[in-house]
Amino acid sequence: MASSSSAVAAGGGAPSTGGGGGGRFFANPFPDYGGGPVVKNDDHIRSLVQSYVNLVVDNTRDDRNTDHRGDLYVGDAGIAYMFLRLHECGLFGPDALQLLAIYCLL
């Protein structure tokens, strides 16, 4: 792992004075992960993901099939891929596939 003084790539903003040659990096102010136990709250994570999924579905246009770029991460293919990954992570159980079925019927 990089040390806490290492640089983190950034897409913009004020560059740091150190490292990177191109000046497109910021100093990392956070300490390295010490390898201890990770405390997680599955209910909180599930709630956050559910709110993001709702935002995606609620903001999908009625003419959603108009994006013909063929990219995996855009349009219906991207949304279906999101539901597949949610199902595979196991956090939502069969609910992710049920959400996909509902979305496909919209």
Segment 2-19, tens digit of pLDDT: 444 445 444 444 544 555
pLDDT at 68: 62
Q: Higher-confidence residue: 21 or 85?
A: 85
pLDDT of residue 71: 64
Alpha-helical runs (H) found in the chain: 42-58, 75-89, 95-105
Whole-number pLDDT of residue 13? 46
15-71: pLDDT as tens digits = 445 555 567 888 999 999 888 888 888 889 888 888 888 888 777 766 655 656 666
Over residues 68-96, the mean pLDDT reads 75
49 near 86, Cβ under 8 Å?
Answer: yes
- Model pLDDT, residue 6: 47
User: How far apart are the C-alpha atoms of 18 and 13, rounded to whole Å?
Assistant: 14
Residue, of 95 and 20, whose pLDDT is higher: 95
